[in-house]
Amino acid sequence: MQLNKVSVDDINVKGKKVLVRCDFNVPLKDGVITNDNRITAALPTIKKLIADGGKVILCSHLGKPKNGPEEKFSLAPVAVRLSELLGQDVVFANDDEVVGENAKKAVAEMKDGDVVLLQNTRFRKEETKNLEPFSSELASLADVFVMDAFGSAHRAHCSTVGVTDHIKDTAVGYLMQKEINYLGNAVETPVRPFVAILGGAKVADKLNVISNLLEKCDTLIIGGGMAYTFLKAQGKEVGLSLVDDTKIDYCKEMMAKAEKLGKKLLLPIDTTIAAGFPDPIDAEIEVKVVDSDKIPADMEGLDIGTKTQELFADAVKSAKTVVWNGPMGVFENPTLAKGTIAVAKALADTDATTIIGGGDSAAAVIQLGFADKMSHISTGGGASLEYLEGKVLPGIAAIADK
């Protein structure tokens, strides 16, 4: 899966209209952006295209509008924030049909270096089904297409894939390039030893990831809720802990596969237990730590224990490449965040290339203040998981190779 895509550094956009698919799916509260990380992440690509004299037309989805246009999912606040960050006016083309009179007029009046933002691509029903005429309408605005929304690259939508049927000049932006370099190439051609850490609640979400990573990595660490299905597959009593009984045989297969391939598969050796799940999630909770084979029948495992924290941290120490996806416990609760903090700290302290695979582990690392210590934090949850599964993402496949 060594990918070598045309990037924004390889194209000449002077005087050309460039459609850029960004990921501006930002959290909003009462029409105010509460976290603009995704907007700031898109700036290097946008600034590069402005500096090169392109006419920059931005598009993105926001939220999941169900029945066509909904005011609460408008990209208007994004246009305001973008104008502030770029220090220049970003024209917002507010058309319910996305490519309407406002968009056409705004694009027709563009000068080199101007920026226009289109309305939410999901205001069009065709978007998520990758149907015409929306793809060709979007494409009709531009001469060049740049894909810079990794978080949407695993979806074949009009704005990620469909437009490439009509625009022949395509490239990836800097954000996409970074994801391909780190996630794709780290998994395909890692500097060894390569350690993969998987957590999160469900084994079912990560079936193919576990299987694929076992073939690629030297050590696979499993924590979080998914570990209890593995422990039960080993014949251990897991009490009231989260278990997927339909996946017991699968876990047995994976443990046998690890042994056959000569890979280390590490599971929790002790567990932080409580009488039940905290409610609300951040409520104070009484816990104790027991060995993983001594979980009482009326108790529930909610985080890895102290000995496991050391075991996992030790495995990371000698690594040269580490990929981490999924927390070690209920990290939203201060008492049950210790396992996740310990792993984050181990990654922060290592000289290895450390890659955080989006979703909850990205949220945890940022929330716990370790973000600047990681080599790369992926911007896509579902997309990074599919990448780690070894899948080809349609939004990357659609872009021209060098």
Residue 239 known to bind ligand? no
Sorted by sequence, the CB contacts under 8 Å of residue 383 that are 6+ apart come out as: 150, 151, 152, 153, 154, 179, 358, 393, 395
Length of the chain: 402
Residue 338 known to bind ligand? no
Tokens, residue 206: 């990560």
Taking the CB of residue 73, how many other CB atoms lie within 10 A of it? 18
Residue 349 known to bind ligand? no
Residue 124 known to bind ligand? no
Catalytic residue among 47, 81, 178, 202: 202
Residue 25 known to bind ligand? yes
Residue 12 known to bind ligand? no
Residue 21 known to bind ligand? no
Residue 358 known to bind ligand? yes
Residue 181 known to bind ligand? no
Catalytic residue among 100, 113, 382, 390: 382
Residue 60 known to bind ligand? no
Residue 23 known to bind ligand? yes
Catalytic residue among 16, 38, 236, 338: 38
Residues forming beta bridges with residue 300, ordered by sequence position: 274
Q: What is the CA radius of gyration of the chain?
A: 23
CB burial of residue 259 (10 Å; 0-12, 13-18, 19+): exposed
Residue 62 known to bind ligand? yes
Sorted by sequence, the CB contacts under 8 Å of residue 140 that are 6+ apart come out as: 99, 166
359 tagged catalytic: yes
Query: What are the distances in angstroms from CA 396 to CA 46, 60, 82, 128, 160?
Result: 19, 16, 25, 17, 9
The interaxial angle of helices 207-216 and 381-388, nearest 10 deg, is: 50
Residue 360 known to bind ligand? yes
| Distance separating alpha carbons of residues 93 and 101, to the nearest angstrom | 9
Q: How far is CA 239 from the centre of its chain?
A: 32
Residue 329 known to bind ligand? no
Q: Are strands 28-29 and 32-33 parallel, antiparallel or unpaired?
A: antiparallel
Catalytic residue among 359, 380, 381, 395: 359
User: Tokens 């894909």 correspond to what residue?
Assistant: 147
Residues forming beta bridges with residue 90, ordered by sequence position: 115
Residue 292 known to bind ligand? no
382 tagged catalytic: yes
| Distance separating alpha carbons of residues 176 and 379, to the nearest angstrom | 9
Tokens, residue 302: 């909610």
Annotated binding-site residue numbers for (2R)-3-phosphoglycerate: 38, 122, 155
Residues tagged active-site = 38, 202, 359, 382
Annotated binding-site residue numbers: 23-25, 38, 61-64, 122, 155, 206, 301, 332, 358-361
Annotated binding-site residue numbers for ATP: 206, 301, 332, 358-361
Annotated binding-site residue numbers for substrate: 23-25, 38, 61-64, 122, 155
